[in-house]
Amino acid sequence: MQYFELASGYKMPALGLGTWQLRGSTCTKTVRTALKLGYDHIDTADVYGNHQAIRQALQGTDTDGIFITSKVWRADLHHDDLLKMGNRALSELGIDHLDLLLIHWPNRQVPIAETLAAMAEWVQQGKVRSIGASNFTIRDLQEAQQVTKVPISVNQVKFHPYNNQRDLLAYCNDHGIVVTAYSPFGNGSLVGDRKLMRIASKYDRSFAQIVLRWLVSKGVVVIPKSTNPNHLADNMDIFDWELEPQDYEAIEALDR
**Catalytic residue list:** 48
Applying the rule CB under 6 A, the residues between 78 and 117 that interact with ligand NAP are 104
Total Cβ atoms within 10 A of residue 236: 18
For the CB of residue 189, give the shortest distance to ligand NAP in the complex, in Å: 8
Applying the rule CB under 6 A, the residues between 24 and 53 that interact with ligand NAP are 43
Q: Which stretch in 53-61, 121-129, 145-153, 184-192 sits in contact with ligand NAP by CB under 6 A?
A: 184-192
Total Cβ atoms within 10 A of residue 248: 16
Query: β-pairing, 17-18 with 3-5?
Result: unpaired
70 binds ligand NAP (CB under 6 A): no
Nearer to ligand NAP, 123 or 212 (CB): 212
For the CB of residue 125, give the shortest distance to ligand NAP in the complex, in Å: 25
First CA to last CA across the chain, in angstroms? Answer: 30
| CA geometry: angle 225, 227, 229, nearest 5 deg | 110
Buried b (16+ CB within 10 A) or exposed e, 139-165: ebbebbeeebebbbbbbbbebbbebbb
Q: How many residues bind ligand NAP (CB under 6 A)?
A: 27
**130 φ, ψ to 5°?**
-135, 155
Among 117, 227, 229, 254, indicate the residue that binds ligand NAP (CB under 6 A).
Answer: 227
Q: Which stretch in 5-13, 74-82, 119-127, 185-193 sits in contact with ligand NAP by CB under 6 A?
A: 185-193
155 binds ligand NAP (CB under 6 A): no
Alpha helices, H only, 69-174:
79-93, 112-124, 138-147, 166-174
Question: Contact positions toward ligand NAP, by CB under 6 A?
Answer: 18-20, 43, 104, 134-135, 156, 182-188, 191, 206, 208, 223-228, 231, 234-235
